[in-house]
Structure 1
Amino acid sequence: MQRERTLASRVIYDGIGLHAGKPVHMELAPAAPGTGIVFARSDMPAEKPVAATAANVTATLRATTIGAGTLKFFTIEHLMSALHVHGIDNCLVTLDAEEPPVVDGSARTFFRLIAQAGTAEQDAERHETVIDRVYRVDNGSHFVMAIPYDGLRVSFTSLNDHPLIGVQYYDIEVTPETYEKEIAPARTIAYEKEIAALQANGLGLGGSLETVIVYNDEGWMNPLNFPNELVRHKILDVLGDLRLAGIIRGHIIAVASGHALNTALAKRIAEERD
């Protein structure tokens, strides 16, 4: 029997949010069995924390947003991805803004901070989200699906019309070791010509060459961690989004999927599991 896990100690990190561009103080704290992953505001202590579940997804434009009541939290997918692969069932995430720190646009710092804090087994049975049949969500030629598999595996194909990127494919058996080396360092990517429009709409205000990798029609504006960093980051995102349905045991297969499809799949899995 597997048991639920939480953090063994508190994690603290200060940074800025990717889209809001606001300074944010983040604390990750141990939580009691059965709590799940919940987000709270330290500057709004009277407000009830928001559970990071598929049912609470409110928006998926350029990031995954959860909300309930008067609170909302966006761009949670990188942190959720790191928590997912570490097998954290219960965690209280406390912020003094609406968005976790972007750090360098990847999940590497979150993953390492959680590893440093350690995990603690709890006196409660874990109920993994075991994929026991095929789940699939389509949007034209784009789709994401989950099929039975003894472990956690992701196979992702990204499609991009830009000749610099084109079609990228990556397949990985996800373990803490493979994730830390092959997925966690993959950063958010942006096309230079889109940045002004995003910022005009209040998005990407915390973006810079320190927090995002940017390409234009001449090439990459900053060095890559991987030649196929885009598809690896897509895997990072899908692992974060699907954590909204629980800790997954299965094989995720996706073609050009984004937050909208990812969270739709998480919602379908969660609803049918319940």
Structure 2
Amino acid sequence: MQQTTLAAEAIYNGIGLHSGREVHMTLKPAPADTGLVFVRTDLEGRPQIHAAAANVTSTMRATTVEENGCKVFTIEHLMSAFHAMGIDNCYIEIDAEEPPVADGSALAFFRTMKQAGIRELEAERREIVIDKAYRIDDDEKNRFVMVVPYDGFRVSFTSVNPHKLIGIQYENFEVTPELYEAEIAPARTIAYEKEIEALRSMGLGLGGTLESVIVYNDEGWLNPLHFEDELVRHKILDVIGDLRLAGPIRGHVIAVASGHALNTALAKELQKNLG
């Protein structure tokens, strides 16, 4: 199997979820062995930040990568689309510290890439082929994420939420581009109404609106859902994006109540052992 890149440039502009700032993003084809590389066009020298597990520096409400003092955060939705589309190499030019939020899902990114098309390169693709079970646990909160050998890419996720509206949700998908576009990519970020004020006082969620975040309170949902179990589908979207920081994966991901911290810890373990 050959490495891939985009067949043409693709542009997507919008507002950052946490920063609330306007951002212009251009996805550009890149040569073999480049990887997925953010380019901060707003900073002197256009510094590059490689979307790699070793560069993760924060997982508070989003995944942040940092290199040589420059960072990009809330990259997980974009990375998820790259993973599902099977794109190995791309320059992601952005003029802010955060990609656009779009509607809080990965669908706009996926379709932007799909429209640009994929081009095969001469170099051979290097997958992260899972050779045994790798597992990261958070014993205090009874949650974990693991990956086991599997000929394909599958994700099984159990989401546990004490809220009566949500409760326990489970989904299990064999991830292909077609299934991802229909069943995973449209799942949006979710927030509890009482958390929003606290997040904004921390400088987070400044770009979130009911067009980009699903919000629930003790009475119900403030906006219509795309799926009854949209929360667990978005969790799957996130884990696909976070694990792409290790590389394209061939294996079966199994998770219970996992989040960015556990996901990226597993990505680091995979990159260290198999990258």
TM-score (ref. length: structure 1): 0.99
1:258: Cα distance to partner? 0.1
Q: Which position in structure 1 is the counterpart of 2:126?
A: 127
The residue that corresponds to 1:152 in the other structure is: 153
Provide the C-alpha distance between the structure 1 equivalents of 2:46 and 2:30, rounded to a whole number of angstroms. 18
Q: CA deviation at 1:82?
A: 0.2
Report the secondary structure of 1:13's partner residue: strand
Q: CA deviation at 1:47?
A: 4.2
Equivalences, count: 273
Aligned partner of residue 92 in structure 1, secondary structure: strand
CA distance in 2 between partners of 1:129 and 1:64 (Å): 20
Matched residue of 2:263: which SS?
A: helix
1:70 is displaced (CA, Å) by 2.3
1:97-140 Cα distance to aligned partner (Å, 9 max, x none)? 00000000000000001000000000101111111110000001
SS at match of 1:180: helix
User: 2: distance between equivalents of 1:88 and 1:45?
Assistant: 28
Q: Residue 42 of structure 1: CA displacement?
A: 1.1
Tell me the CA shift for residue 13 of structure 1. 1.1
State whether residues 129 and 274 of structure 2, in contact with CA within 8 Å, keep that contact through their aligned partners in structure 1.
no
Corresponding residue number in structure 2 for 1:250: 251
Distance 2:59 2:192 in 1: 19
Tell me which residue corresponds to 1:43: 42
| Conserved 8 A contact 1:18-1:206 | yes
CA distance in structure 2 between the partners assigned to 1:268 and 1:70 by the alignment:
23
Query: Partner residue of 2:171?
Result: 170
Alignment RMSD: 0.7
Q: Aligned ranges for residues 6-45 of structure 1 at < 5 Å? A: 6-45=5-44
Tell me, in whole angstroms, the C-alpha distance in 1 between the residues paired with 2:245 and 2:152. Answer: 18
Q: Answer yes or no: is the 8 Å Cα contact 2:41–2:47 preserved in 1.
A: no
SS at match of 2:132: coil
Distance 1:239 1:273 in 2: 17
Residue 44 of structure 1 and its aligned partner are, at CA, apart by 1.6
Listed as ranges, the gaps of 5+ residues in structure 1 are none
Once the two structures are TM-superposed, the CA of residue 213 in structure 1 deviates from its matched residue by 0.3
The whole-number CA distance in structure 1 between the counterparts of 2:39 and 2:201 is: 28
Structure 1 residues 52-67: aligned runs within 5 Å: 52-67=51-66
Report if the CA contact (8 A) 2:246-2:270 is conserved.
yes
**2:130–2:150 contact (8 Å) kept in structure 1:** yes
Which residue does the alignment assign to 1:211? 212
Distance in 2 (CA, whole Å) between partners of 1:44 and 1:215 is 38
Opposite residue 186 of structure 1, the aligned amino acid is A
Q: Percent identity?
A: 65
Counterpart of 1:74 in structure 2 is 73
How far apart in 2 are the matches of 1:95 and 1:47? 10
